[in-house]
Structure 1
């Protein structure tokens, strides 16, 4: 494909992956991220998958696969805190923060623009027009929607663009390893679970924010999946200042009263070790679990990647790998043809069934977990 003017909406890992690849191929690439501060510091750990390792090799970042914490085994706890099962399945939690920062650093500074929210996408005879908040516009030959669950771009490509609530949410905490109570030492260096009907809790160590892997400099990441009626979501995602969020409640937005209720709930239903790590988190966040499957991934001059195309449940541990696979496939399709429509059709043909398969897998895991 001859060099094109390509604009990417969304600056998380999906946008960074495809932006780096296409810039290497000589295209004029710019990424627009709606957050005014970027996305640094928003991740914890992620499980490496084949597609992620492949894109890291392509980008010359293979070393990032080793910036992680190894959980030497999986343990499943009883309600009283005893160990019910042990499985020798070592797993490495790669640092999301370091991955994001390193991949972003491979782009020229002026090609990654924060605080630039796109509110509309429209195809024109000449190409694609982006309209930003403030009504400024920009023309491109190809637009890539990498703007995640709240995608603006997907509504242009696919008639149905609503995320479907799965019936539960994830409460999350991320605390310094030094803040772990001594009584929870059994959780250290292990991937720990507590799963009974209606309750699903897990936790594991991840690197420090700058990739630190030394003991005492790591962080403990916990996730507690809890069933929630759809009618209660608005209240759940309303912060102490009265602001309501659509899909989550960020760190620091929980009132002291609700924080104390969370801690009481933890001690009433969780093993004592997990209840204590919940208590040790002063600023938990809440993330709704949603499903979305695009019926189309492309139009004439627009393509979707990552969560903009398929929102898959976190139990799969495949969200980042899926984004990497999308980026690699789109780059390959564009490089193999001088006809944009043909290239986008090839991309969709390859990745649409993959997204559907991963989404279905996530629903099965969610049903078995809760």
Structure 2
């Protein structure tokens, strides 16, 4: 009797979810290949990540402890526009996108990981799926995993009618070396999860590992995010870069227009505690609009969607990364012992889809509820950065 043929998984998307899928599928015996649309070095579109059990579990199986890739916090504090902060004990571990990326990417050095691969077409013939890319390159496998984020080309090809919708607010962000932050401000923020919120806005801050993954004092970075309601009609102006390009989903560091930067500081001075205003002043600000993508399905013919490609959760749940990792682990479990010359385990895949969609709907609703508490994205919430 001939041995069964090893299944080959084609993973579209080389960010954290795609890397998690590569590790999980390889662990159950699949050959994996990863195709990422970015042409150059991957660039973090988020910054800080709260360590969650799904992430810690995969790291542990790779021989990495959470403490090696995290900054430990001991307290939470709430700032006021005037007066002393309110504090209470709340230990947490914080990591960063680039630290996790590096930790997951390095063990895959021997795996096909191809950049500048924009998916253009997917075809299924029998037990084989073919992915064709914009440069004319095509690859074949037995199963395709769409881990290519909220702008997923995989999802558009499988479900052309699905589109993300703007949530009504944006995330202004900063990620600065702690050496660039004034000492008195660093003393206030170090070791603490710091927050402030009023109608239509919320700001959070905590320290994360340094650019090289360093977790020692003096080598870390200060990560912050300021959510503000912004009308959809005002987005193009805020997403226009110094070069004149208008971005759709992410304005990179260094690209904010000078006049928008002045508006940002003027708004911060009247809306935020002075400590947060000072932090923004010393930061190279970047920005992401917050989008929603309603969950629909995760399984198609010899294909599956994971992470934001399958549906989004608001960032307030601190679970976007962990959800993608959980999706990948569950998908690998459903495909365990499957070989290329055997029928797909349809019942296990259907059960995985059902379970993950239930969780996705729950997390999505929880994130919207958390946003609504600060009137973020709500019809009556205060709006900022309106054009004159």
Q: Distance in 2 between matches of 1:128 and 1:369?
A: 45
Match of 2:382 in 1: none
1:130, distance to aligned residue in structure 2 (A): 1.3
- 2:145 pairs with 1:144: yes
> Per-residue displacement from partner, 1:266-312 (whole Å, max 9, x unpaired)?
1121100000000001x211111111123110111110011111211
1:169-205 CA-to-partner distances (Å, cap 9, x unmatched) read: 0000011112212342322221111111112111111
Secondary structure of the residue aligned to 2:330 is helix
Matches within 5 A, 1:46-195: 46-61=49-64, 63-80=65-82, 82-83=84-85, 85-158=86-159, 160-184=161-185, 185-195=187-197
The whole-number CA distance in structure 1 between the counterparts of 2:132 and 2:78 is 50
Q: 1:369 to 1:270 in 2, by over 3 A?
A: same
Measured in 2, the distance between the counterparts of 1:40 and 1:105 equals: 16
Q: Determine the structure 2 residue equivalent to 1:21.
A: 24
| Equivalent residue number for residue 362 of structure 2 | 357
Q: Deviations over 1:140-194 (max 9, x none)?
A: 2111000001101112333542111110000000111122123423222211111
Rounded Cα–Cα distance in structure 2 between residues aligned with 1:226 and 1:42: 18
Q: Deviation digits for residues 315-341 of structure 1, max 9, x if unmatched?
A: 000011101110110000001555313
Residue 225 of structure 1 corresponds to which residue in structure 2?
227
Aligned equivalents of 1:41 and 1:154: distance in 2? Answer: 22
Kept after mapping to 1: 8 A contact 2:8/2:32: yes
Q: CA deviation at 1:44?
A: 3.0
Deviation at 1:217, TM superposition (A): 1.2
Equivalent residue number for residue 199 of structure 1: 201
Between the aligned partners of 2:243 and 2:114, the Cα distance in structure 1 is 29
Q: Is the 8 A contact 1:166 1:289 kept in 2?
A: yes
List structure 1 segments (4+ residues) > 6 angstroms apart after TM superposition. Answer: none
**Partner Cα distance (1:57, 1:188) in 2:** 27
Distance, in Å, in 1 between the alignment partners of 2:110 and 2:262 is: 43
| Superposed CA offset, 1:213-266 (max 9, x none) | 222211111110010111122222121111122112111211222212211211
Distance in 2 (CA, whole Å) between partners of 1:173 and 1:207 is 14
| Aligned twin of 2:336 | 335
Question: May I ask how many residue pairs the two structures share in their alignment?
Answer: 367
* 1:75 and 1:87 in contact (8 A); partners too: yes
Report the Cα distance in structure 2 between the residues aligned to 1:149 and 1:55, rounded to whole angstroms: 23
Question: 2:343 & 2:83 partners in 1: Cα distance?
Answer: 60
CA contact (8 A) 1:194 1:201 kept: yes
Q: Is the 8 A contact 1:201 1:223 kept in 2?
A: yes
Residue in 1 that maps onto 2:10: 7
- Where in structure 2 are there 5+ consecutive unaligned residues? 376-388
Q: Which of 277, 280, 286 is the equivalent residue of 1:278? A: 280
Deviation at 1:119, TM superposition (A): 2.1
Distance 1:304 1:127 in 2: 17
The question of 1:311 aligning with 2:316 is answered: no
User: Structure 1, unaligned stretches of length 5 or more?
Assistant: none
Aligned mates of 1:105, 1:182 — CA distance in 2: 35
Q: Whole-Å Cα distance in 2 between the matches of residues 230 and 329 of structure 1? A: 36
1:241 partnered with 2:243: yes
Relative to structure 1, the CA distance from residue 110 to residue 335 in structure 2 (aligned partners, 3 Å threshold; closer, same or farther) is closer
State TM-score, norm by structure 1. Answer: 0.93
